[in-house]
A and B are shown apart, each in its own frame.
Chain A
Amino acid sequence: MISRSQQTWAFFYRDWQLTRAYWSWVVVFTFYAIVTSATVALIGVAANDPQLTLTLTIGVLLWSFLSVLFNEISMSIAFERWEGTLEYTFMAPVPRRIHLLGISLYAVTYALFRVVCVLGGLVLMIDLPWEWSQLPGVLLVLAVSSVAFVGLGLMAAILPVMSPERGAEATNILQGVLLLVSGVYYPVEVLPEWIQPLAWLSPATYALRASRQLLGLEGNGPATWSGILPELSALVLLGVILVPLGLWMFGRAENWAKRNGKLKRTG
């Protein structure tokens, strides 16, 4: 019986080694993330509006975490295509759920690292007007929303499986839509009415609302745990739906790719 924990570790180990190997790119992307986040948060400082500064800061931090998480999972297949190792991964006796679990665990770890760096950078540049005691609550929201975002990432990861040429680019469209509709930098109510229903399908919408409520940016003062229960419930529900759905869709896409010879190396 093959050890599933050892197989899960295989993908965590590989992604860690790749991060080490491409460390200069990690530095560049992290620096860029810090700079773009500070640029957005400083809009609130320039307006001399602590509430706006905090709203934007929460937006950049959560988006920094969720976008990296989504990107790492959705692009994992594209990376394997570029390296040429996709066939070897897919012919190994690893259940797809274990393969994707290993990738997701590393993605969560890497996304956490990135958000800590961004937070550190912001603290150096901006006097953040928030209660640090609320940080554990925000971290809990991040943890709960991670599951739903893993599900979305799995669904997006089928695109590079199905289209070696254009799949990777298509994941960026999905990520862009999430950024647009989730109210990262503005309330979703300012979106055109016909787009607004999409906001309620995005886990980021609930994660941002819950975090902002905890920090007292929405409603009257900082919310209690029971106050954000609807958002947490929505995140749990989305996770319960999206992860199995993502795994199912990935399995269908893999079967389709095996029928049409799409697992071959490209690039």
Chain B
Amino acid sequence: MAQPAATIGRPSLEVSVVAVSIRVSNVKKVFRKGGGLARRKVTEQWALQGVSFDVRTCESYALLGPKGSGKSTLIRILATLLLHDEGAVEIEGLRLPEHEAEVREIVGRVSVDAAFYKKMSAKENLLYSAFMYGHRARSAESRAREILGELGFPANRFNDPLEEMSRGMQQKIAITRALLINPPVLLLDEPTTGLDPASKRDVQRFLERVRKQHGTTILLTSHDMGEAERLCERIGLLAEGRLVAEGTADELRRKANAENLDDVFITLTGERLVDEEKDAAGVRS
């Protein structure tokens, strides 16, 4: 089903391609545990240790990293759900957290777990979300059906409770929820993790179309190298809260002298750790 060009993404594509949509500058985040009445010892866990990168308007950018590398923390900061400790974050020129109300109107997010009211139907969940963004029922429902159609979601399941749906179907509804609000910026936190191959392909194709046709800026986190290469123009490698490398897939391959992105990641993060060990050994000797 064809989608009207104006329904998703930017109202106008006449935007300078060099404009920056997401700017992350030296962002640091630490989580502290303990320190209460019973536990006096405070432990610190650094989630982000000075991450900087820009995502240009209409660009797709992937952040790759293993579990615990800080990907989701970064997405939560951009989604206004977490406050960073140091550094600067801007979305479409709006600084966080000062302009979080405005940022919330222009950011859509899909997370790894499709979080819904499981007893409610797809229609009810999507209408609830649309109402929160001030949309009317009739237009929201018709847009939801359109997007779901493009994603290959069976129309006859629209009124079924989420608890009766597969994970792939739930994730398609999650993507629809994010796109219903017409966001210029889309944050995708491992959107295809755990999906069956067919659903994964449907979702990836749809995201490619959204990016190409509607100029949506996409920040994708994943540990699927192939997905990142397919969907994104540039890739940043995140390890232990630090951005260790950034560039196109080809640039990263050349830099790491590796044939595929899996090897690139292992080589680049591994070399860094080896180097640190060598440096430490050198100091000791």
- A residues touching B (Cβ–Cβ < 8 Å)? 2-3, 6-7, 9-10, 13-14, 17-18, 21-22, 83-85, 87-95, 255, 258-261, 263, 265
Contacts and interface: CB of A to CB of B under 8 A. Distances in A.
Nearest to A95: B101
A92 B119 contact: no
Contact of A22 (B82, B101, B119): B119
Contact of A85 (B115, B127, B133, B161): B115
A258 B81 contact: yes
Contacts of A91: 79-81, 104, 107, 109
Contacts of B97: 258
A83 B82 contact: no
A198 to B, nearest CB: 23
B131 A258 contact: no
B207 interface: no
A3 B115 CA distance: 25
Contacts of A3: 134
B177 to A, nearest CB: 8
A94 B132 contact: yes
B19 interface: no
Contacts of A93: 101, 104-105, 132-133
Nearest to B136: A6
A84 B113 contact: yes
B118 interface: yes
Contacts of B115: 83-85, 87-88, 265
B120 A92 contact: no
B161 A21 contact: yes
Contacts of B113: 84, 265
Contact of B83 (A85, A90, A255): A255
Nearest to B103: A93
Contact of B116 (A10, A85, A260): A85
B117 interface: yes
9 contacts: A3-B134, A7-B132, A10-B128, A14-B120, A18-B117, A84-B115, A87-B79, A92-B133, A263-B76
Interface of B: 31-32, 73, 76, 79-83, 97, 101, 104-105, 107, 109, 111, 113, 115-120, 124, 127-129, 131-136, 161, 177
A38 to B, nearest CB: 30
A261 B82 contact: yes
A6 B115 CA distance: 22
B159 to A, nearest CB: 12
Contacts of A261: 31, 73, 76, 82
A266 to B, nearest CB: 12
Contacts of A14: 117, 120, 124, 128
Contact of B119 (A9, A21, A260): A21
A155 B129 CA distance: 25
A259 B16 CA distance: 34
Contacts of B82: 258-259, 261, 263
Nearest to B47: A261
Contacts of B136: 6
Given A18-B119, A258-B82, 10 more contacts: A21-B119, A83-B116, A87-B111, A87-B115, A91-B80, A91-B104, A258-B97, A259-B82, A259-B83, A261-B76
B127 to A, nearest CB: 7
A17 B133 contact: no
B191 to A, nearest CB: 14
B81 A90 contact: yes
A2 B130 CA distance: 11
Nearest first, the 9 closest Cβ-Cβ pairs linking A and B are: A10-B131, A2-B134, A21-B119, A84-B115, A93-B104, A92-B132, A93-B105, A10-B132, A14-B128
A148 B223 CA distance: 50
Query: Which of B76, B82, B177: most chain A Cβ within 10 A?
Result: B82
Contact of B131 (A9, A85, A95, A259): A9
A196 to B, nearest CB: 29
A17 B129 contact: no
B96 to A, nearest CB: 11
A186 to B, nearest CB: 35
A14 B123 CA distance: 11
Nearest to A256: B83
Nearest to A94: B132
